[in-house]
Structures are given as C-alpha cells and as structure tokens.
Structure 1
Amino acid sequence: FAKPAVGPLFVNIFIIGGILLLYDSPIENLGFAVIFGAAVQLIWLFCLLFSSGISAKNAFSRETFKSEIFMVFLKQTAPVAMWIFLTPIVPLFERYLMSLQQEGSVAILNYTDKILYLPLGVISISLANAAFPNLSLAVLEKRNVRIELLEKFLWLLVICMFPIQVLMNSCSLEISQIIYQRGQFGELESRLTTDLLSAYSWSLIPVSGTLLLNRLFFAAGQFKIPFFAGLVTILLQLSADAFLVPRFGPIGIGWGASIASIFQTTALLAILGFKSGTGVAWYCAKPLFLALILAEGFNLVLPGFFYQLFVFLPSGKMGSLLALSASWVLFQTFSILFFRYGLPRTKSCEV
C-alpha cells in the first residue's frame, strides 16, 4: 500500500508547482501540469509492477493469474463499482437544480465543493487510506478486527475535523468575505457562499466517519453493506435536494447533503451494531455524535474562536503554501503520537 501511495504525491506536487509557476498564465495551462503529474504517476506504477516481476508476458500466466481468485474479487467488488458508477448522479442533479436558481449559483456550488474537499482530502481520505491496510492485515492474519484500531482512527478524525467543522459553520461569513475580496464574486454570491458553507459543514464529520466505517466492512470482505447503504443515501439525497431547493433556495443543496451523510453514517453504525453488538456500535458512534453535539454548543458559546487563530497565518501564495505544508506536518506528527500514546485499549470484536 505504501509504495503505490507515493503516486498521488507526484500529481499533487506538479499541481502545486503549476499553480506557483503559472500564476499569471491562463487557467487552462494548469491542465498541462495535471496531465504531466498523472503521467509521472503512471510511470511510477509501471516501475513498481516491473520491479515485482509482473510484465505483459506473464500477467495472465497460470502462476500469476488465478481465474478463481479473480472471479471472487469481481463478484465481491461489483456492488462497490456499481455504487461508484451511480454516485455522480448526485452532483449532476444538484447542478441542474442550481441552474434554475439565481445567476452564479452553479459557480458558487463548485467553489464551495472545492473548499470542502480540502479537509476531506488532507485528513479524512488520508486516514481512511491508512486504516484500510491495517484492518485488512488484521483479517488476513486470522485475527479479530480490533475495534481499538477503528476507535483510534475515529477519535483522531474527530479531533482534527472538529475545529474545521466549527470554523466553517460559525465563521462562514468571514470565509466568504475572503472569497469576495480575492475572487470575482459580488455581494449576492458572497451571501450564497456563506449559507452553503454553514449548511455543508454539518456533513464533514459524518462523511469522514462513513469513509472509515466503509473501510471496516471492506476489510472484512463485506462489500454489499456499503453498497446498499450508499444506494439508499443517494436516493435520500436526491429526494432531499428536490424537496428543499425549490422551497429554500440554493442552501437546500447543503442541507440535503448533510441530512444524507448523517443518515448514511447512522445506517452503517446500526448495521455494525446488528452484526457485532450494540457495544461495538457505541464505541464507534461516540466520537462522531459527540463532535456534532459539541460543535453546536461551541458555535453558540465561542463563535469565531478558531477563525481568530487563522489571522496569524501568513498571506500570499507562498505563505499559504507554507501554512498548508506546516499543517500537514503537524497533522502527521500528531497522528503518530496519538496512535502511540492515545486512547486506552478496548476489547476486540469480529465484524
């Protein structure tokens, strides 16, 4: 898992380098940096294949290719592939609904999505990718899947995402004002961004928790559970968007996403409790729902607290890059220390 994971780093390095070098160039030129980074990633993956002794000649030989194993893999992962295939229906439908709203709604939705993807990519997806091989090894080595490991991942996730969730909820106005100052947005677009960020913020922790819970089921070879939970969530989100947007405007998209994400997390926890016991589900649910409750209280008691911390961050493109790099190093260091000296152990369980 570790060596292939280096590939996306190449893509990100070339994207960041393209942003810095092509700052005053047409935005289309950034696409060349993405293509070049993707090509480097592809070359890296082929080098890993060749170093493992896999080539075009022996890829389908009897020693390398086992049709029985391939069919089992295909049968188990087919539901996940179908779920991934259906997922793009949601953003397509959302943009259709937003196109019926005031001018600029689609652009603001796209911009808001990019803001949300930053913490999800840096923290949530990173933790999910780190959790999956550990949980898979626990199953591969014929050991019980330790709830201790997943619980630590969930607590680490909540500790890192909690201030971001509070920041986007209580300080959405300040964030949108920064966008207003640096981008081509008017007062109406700024207000729309404020509403969307505030509504979308409630989906950050549930979406992140779903990523980890899905990895738990994937590691146990139970691919159908995330598929059915995801399918019902897609239908719920489409229905919520269709109901909320005509009545409340563009903010309905954000609330629809938050409602659907909370439902998906709750459904996965309920299934986990049914299969492994309510105690296991409680261990996993405790940090997620505690964070949501505390976030609302934090917004009422200390609004703008986390935003004041960002005032001291350096400005400018190089300053922003340094701030992001420092945040990434801090996150990695904290993660290592947390897993070494973190929460006390809990009992093992089978999933």
Structure 2
Amino acid sequence: MTRPSGPSLTRTAGLVGSATMASRILGLVREQVLAHAFGASHQMDAFNVAFRLPNLVRDLFAEGAMTAAFVPTFSRTLTREGKDAAWTLGRRAITALLLVTSTIALAGIVFAEPMTRAFAGEFAQVPGKFELTVRLTRLMFPFLPLVAVAVAAMGMLNALGRFFVPALAPATFNVASIACILLLVPLMPSLGLEPVTALAVAVLAGGLGQVLLQWPQLRAEGFRFRPDFAPRDPGLREILLLMGPGTLGVAATQFNVYVSTVLATSQQPGAVSWLNYAFRILYLPIGLFGVSIASASLPLISQHAAREDTPAVRRTVAHAMRLILTLTVPASAGLLALAVPIVRVIFERGRFLPSDTQAAALALMAYAPGLIGYSAVKVLSPTFYALRDSRTPVVISVTAVLMNAALSLAFVGRLGYVGLALGTALASLLNAGLLMLLLRRRIGGIEAGRLASTFVRIGLASAVMAAAAWGSHAWMASHLFTGAAFVSQVARVAVAIGFALLVLVVAARALRIEEFDEASSRLLRRLRGRSRSASRDDA
C-alpha cells in the first residue's frame, strides 16, 4: 500500500494539479470545437438540457456525496483490515452502484419525455427541438452507471496513494468529445441523424474511457471485480449513512440547477448555451486558483484538526483565505474588463457569431464575481468536514441554493439570462460568507483584520489593473493590432493581459500586499511542479 507522506504531499499536489489543469484546458478546447460546430443553435440548447438530466442524477448519486462517503470508509477498511477486505468492500460498493444507477438509467430512458417537459417545456415552441432533446436524453442516460464505476475506481486508487491517473481520467471525456465532433458530426446526416447526436455518443465514449483508463492500474494493485451483492455489509451501510447529509446538500444544489434550467429555457434561443460557454471560461481559474490552494492547504488543516490544534487550524485557514483573495480578486476584475475579447478569441468562429460573443460575454461578466466565492468554498467547506462537522456546510449549501433560486427569479424578469448568472455569483459569495462567519465562531477567529486589509488592498490594485487591461486593449484595437484577424485579436488580448499583470505587480508592491508575492511564487512553483511531474511516472 502506497500513501503520500509529508514530504511527498507537494509532489502529490503537483500530480493532481497537472492532471486537473490538463482536463480543464481540454474542456476549454472542447467548448471551442463545440462553439465552432454548433454555436448557440437550438441543437446545442437541446444537448445542454439533455445532458443536464443524467448529469443531475450523476451528481446526486455517483459523485459528490458518494465520493465523500466511499473514500474514507474504503481507506479505513484498507488500514485496519488490509487489502482483501478493502477489495471486498470495493466489489460490493460497485455492485450496489451498478444496480442503483442502471435502474435509474432505465427509468430515465422510459420517462425521458415527461422529464424533458418538466425541464424544458418551452422547447416545444420550436419545431423539433423538444423531440431532439428527448432523443438525446435517452441516448445519454447509460452514461450514469459508467461514471459511477469510474468514481469508485478513482476512490480506491486515491486511497492507495495513486493520484495522477484518476485525476487525468475526466480528461478522456473531453478527448472523446473532441474526437467525435471532428469524426462523427459529418457522418450523422448520412445516417439520418442530427449532427448533435455525435455529442451524445461522445458522452458514452467519455464515460467508458474514464473506466478503461483507470482499470489497468486498479488491476495492477490486485483488484478483481465480480458481482457481489451484500446489502447487509457493515461497510456498505456505513457508506450509505455517510451519504445522507451530503446527498441532501447535493439535492439542494440540483434543485437550483432545475430552477435555473427552467428559467434559462424560457429565455431567447441560445440562452442555455451562452450560460454554459461563459461558465466554462470561469471554470479554468477556479481550477487554477481554488483547487490549487485547497490542495495545498487542506492536508495541513486535516492534520491540525486531527491533533485538535485549533490555533494551527485558524492560522492555516486564514492564510489560505488571504491567498484566495489575492489571486481571485484580480482574476475576477480581469474577466470583467476583458470579457468580450476573451470570449471572442476563444469561441467566435464557425457557427458562433459575433452576437453570441456579446451574449456570452455578458453572462461571463455576471459570473465573474462568483469566482471569489467558488474558490473560497473549496477551502472553507472541507474544513468543516475535517472538524467532523458535516451538518454545517450542508445547511449553508441549502441556504445558498434557496437564495440562488430566489435571486434568479427576481433578476430574470429584468435581466433575462444574465440575471441567472448574476444570481449564481451572488449566491456563491453568500455561501462563502456564511461558511466564513460560522467557521470563525467555530475556531475562534480567522484573523479577520488581516483578511479585510488584504481584501481592500488587493481590491484597489485590481481596480487599477482592470482599468489598465481595458484601456490598453481599446488603444491597441485603434492603433496597434487593428482589424478583425484572429492573430490581431489574440495579440490584443495577450498584450493587454501582460500589461495588466505588470500594473498589478507594481500596484501590489506599492500597497505592500505581502500575500501577493507569496501567492505569485507559489503559483510559479506549482506551474514548474506540473512541468516536472508530467514527465514522471505515477510510482
């Protein structure tokens, strides 16, 4: 059995970070290819809603709560009873997962039409759009048992200290999507099918790929699967008990997804796709900043909590939160300043029109402040679990979800689909704020004075940076890299970002933001670590 010890935690974080970043970048490439092939067409809207239905059930049962419940139970069995007992639990968990998710998938196929009507009844107003969504939904529901097995495999490998391949597995979904778009989309009409059907095939291929990528390493560790149905197994029952609070929190989140989807489909054609494209851009800095800092900080927080060293927990959380603010406030400001040119460079080609760029950019601007909240929650919520408190983050999550739904309903009438993005962003900030407030009470403070000082100073520096980014891009559009050529667009964005970062460094130094220097050096070390780790074997 191989586990990451203290000296290897940094290398482990580098391995996970490099694989996660590869997946995020491939996901962005996938969205670029999708935008080129389908733009914000009714086919893309149909696919996004159809995929959201099995994805909702996946988040509820296969991921999230399942991961949080399965990994600790499997790890405890592995430590106390050895590999044979752990493999038995793994077989029984996978068997139970397959039975449950296959039953749900079958029900989803049978009841696809009423489910689609509940989510996207407005699609019936466009000839063929509702029927296409139903067909795609039925085709993609078998994705559910595939991804359930992939999640279980990931949990077992992580418990054994194997991180790189499981973290890379989600990238196979994006690779399959890109390949199917390039190879199968042109073939679909000759088969009498809509081109977007290729994306549904890609979803199934991606789910299977996640299993196949991890299975050889799992077999090399000694795992052999055979059906083993044992509903009275104590370990399996423990997993189900642990899933309870987490499932409630995920269910609340999925209720919000349902509300947002219904509201988005009631907007103009393309709204679902514009929101999806915008959030995909936001997803990249969340992975780079939120996940990076959480990966580095949470093992320390867990160790301090296990030793009941509350002052050390307090120092580590406060430090992590200052780093989060130092990185995400400028990133949010940059997205606000350069939303239109960023969306244009990434997506505007093929069937993704200039009007789609403007629409998606508005959604990105509304989402941008939420980057701070999303990233902060990556640290704050797991800290409660490290303190053996699963109730508080679930209650806060439900509260934030209800607020998200209320804000979406309040904003959508005046702001349309942009109001949905704004409601999501504000709810994420509320989630982070409530978690921070309750954690402060729980551990006796989080150095609020220093945190507020960091926020004010990095906020001022970010405002100067955003002005520099917007101004330099506008100046270059008129004087230097003029024209609509793709090379000119890329040059304007790249130079504007580079100049803005230079201004940020100067402003941060002038305002004496010590966390900025530390965050910058940590990010550089992490990027160098990815470069080194990617060339090593996961041994």
For normalisation by structure 1, the TM-score amounts to: 0.73
State the partner residue of 2:291: 125
State the partner residue of 1:229: 396
Detail structure 1 runs of 4+ shifted over 6 Å in the superposition. Answer: 54-60
Equivalent AA in structure 2 for residue 103 of structure 1? P
Instruction: State how far apart, in whole Å, the 1-side matches of 2:220 and 2:409 are.
Output: 46
Q: 1:12 aligns with which of 168, 171, 178?
A: 171
Instruction: State how far apart, in whole Å, the 2-side matches of 1:332 and 1:17 are.
Output: 30
**Does 2:266 align with 1:100?**
yes
State the partner residue of 2:365: 198
TM-fit CA distance, 1:33: 4.8
Instruction: State how far apart, in whole Å, the 1-side matches of 2:456 and 2:240 are.
Output: 35
Q: Name the % identity.
A: 19
The 1:84–1:152 alpha-carbon spacing in structure 2 relative to 1, beyond 3 Å, is same
Instruction: State how far apart, in whole Å, the 1-side matches of 2:296 and 2:252 are.
Output: 26
1:85-130: per-residue Cα shift (whole Å, max 9, x none)? 2212222221211222222111111212222222223432343344
The 1:41–1:206 alpha-carbon spacing in structure 2 relative to 1, beyond 3 Å, is same
Equivalent AA in structure 2 for residue 214 of structure 1? S
Aligned length, in residue pairs: 315
Equivalent AA in structure 2 for residue 35 of structure 1? G
Instruction: State how far apart, in whole Å, the 2-side matches of 1:226 and 1:289 are.
Output: 27
Instruction: State how far apart, in whole Å, the 2-side matches of 1:291 and 1:228 are.
Output: 31
State the partner residue of 2:281: 115
TM-fit CA distance, 1:238: 0.2
Asked if the contact 1:269–1:285 (Cα under 8 Å) also holds between the matched residues in 2, the reply is: no
TM-fit CA distance, 1:18: 6.5
Instruction: State how far apart, in whole Å, the 2-side matches of 1:58 and 1:140 are.
Output: 34
TM-fit CA distance, 1:198: 0.8
The 1:32–1:74 alpha-carbon spacing in structure 2 relative to 1, beyond 3 Å, is closer
Q: 2:352 aligns with which of 181, 185, 209?
A: 185
Instruction: State how far apart, in whole Å, the 1-side matches of 2:494 and 2:528 are.
Output: 24
Asked if the contact 2:470–2:496 (Cα under 8 Å) also holds between the matched residues in 1, the reply is: no
Gaps of 5+ in 2: 1-157, 186-197, 474-489, 498-520, 530-539
State the partner residue of 1:262: 429
1:128-180: per-residue Cα shift (whole Å, max 9, x none)? 34433332222234444433333343344344434432221100111232255
1:235-256: per-residue Cα shift (whole Å, max 9, x none)? 0000000000111222111211
- Which stretch shifts more, 108-117 or 25-34? 25-34
Asked if the contact 1:49–1:55 (Cα under 8 Å) also holds between the matched residues in 2, the reply is: no
Matches within 5 A, 1:47-86: 47=219, 50=222, 71=238, 78-86=244-252
For normalisation by structure 2, the TM-score amounts to: 0.50
Instruction: State how far apart, in whole Å, the 2-side matches of 1:159 and 1:309 are.
Output: 22
State the partner residue of 1:327: none
TM-fit CA distance, 1:83: 0.3
- Which stretch shifts more, 95-104 or 147-156? 147-156
Instruction: State how far apart, in whole Å, the 2-side matches of 1:112 and 1:213 are.
Output: 25
State the partner residue of 2:536: none
The 1:183–1:268 alpha-carbon spacing in structure 2 relative to 1, beyond 3 Å, is farther
Instruction: State how far apart, in whole Å, the 2-side matches of 1:98 and 1:215 are.
Output: 31
Asked if the contact 1:15–1:33 (Cα under 8 Å) also holds between the matched residues in 2, the reply is: no
User: What secondary structure does 1:101 align onto?
Assistant: coil
User: What secondary structure does 1:221 align onto?
Assistant: coil
TM-fit CA distance, 1:14: 6.7
Instruction: State how far apart, in whole Å, the 2-side matches of 1:235 and 1:102 are.
Output: 25
CA RMSD of aligned residues (A): 3.9
State the partner residue of 2:442: 275
